[in-house]
């Protein structure tokens, strides 16, 4: 990807790709927050390229799920991030994903419906990135 700070982590088993996760820091003026449902805390959507890391996608092959691969990918992507928090958009009806995110420390802040035609409404999840996760 052409975005500054874009990062990808993959998982392979015996040379076969079984999962991946990727994301990027939200730049100033980002469209990420377009369609956010109010109310949100004052300044919540203010970005400068250093505040929030957005996870765009996390996928694990169906026959490889429930083995800790998603958590390992998640932890590796966020380890060493310099941002103070991370965000992702999750399908509110995807109970397994929602349960996993909650168990990993994510919390739902609000919802968001992107501006494209027939876009679904997503839950906006956030997690603080601890000093231990961040690079000095």
- Is residue 53 within 8 A of residue 25, CB to CB? The reply is yes
Inside any domain, residue 133: no
pTM here is 0.90
Inside any domain, residue 1: no
Instruction: Tell me the pLDDT tens digit for each residue of 14-68.
Output: 999 999 999 999 999 999 999 999 999 899 999 999 999 999 999 999 999 999 9
Inside any domain, residue 124: yes
CATH number for 47: 3.40.630.30
> Got the DSSP string for 99-127?
HHHHHTT-EEEEEE--SSTTPPPEEEEEE
Inside any domain, residue 83: yes
Full residue range of the structural domain in which residue 70 is found: 7-128
Which SS3 state, helix, strand or coil, does residue 6 take? Answer: coil
Instruction: Tell me the pLDDT tens digit for each residue of 77-111.
Output: 999 899 999 999 999 999 999 999 999 999 999 99
Q: Domain count of the chain?
A: 1
Inside any domain, residue 21: yes
Distances (CA, A) of 97 to 31, 39, 67: 24, 25, 14
């Amino acid at each position: 990807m052409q975005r500054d700070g874009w990062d990808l982590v993959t998982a392979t088993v015996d040379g076969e790709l079984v999962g991946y996760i990727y994301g990027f820091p939200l730049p100033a003026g980002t469209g990420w927050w377009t369609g956010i449902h109010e109310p949100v805390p004052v300044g919540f959507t203010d970005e400068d390229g250093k505040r929030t890391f957005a996870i765009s996608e996390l996928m694990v092959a169906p026959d490889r799920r429930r083995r800790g691969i998603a958590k390992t990918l998640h932890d590796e992507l966020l380890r060493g991030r310099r941002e103070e928090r991370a965000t992702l958009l999750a399908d509110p009806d995807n109970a397994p994903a929602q349960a996993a995110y909650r168990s990993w420390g994510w919390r739902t802040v609000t919802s968001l419906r992107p501006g494209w035609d027939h876009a679904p409404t997503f839950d906006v999840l956030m997690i603080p990135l601890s000093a231990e996760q961040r690079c000095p």
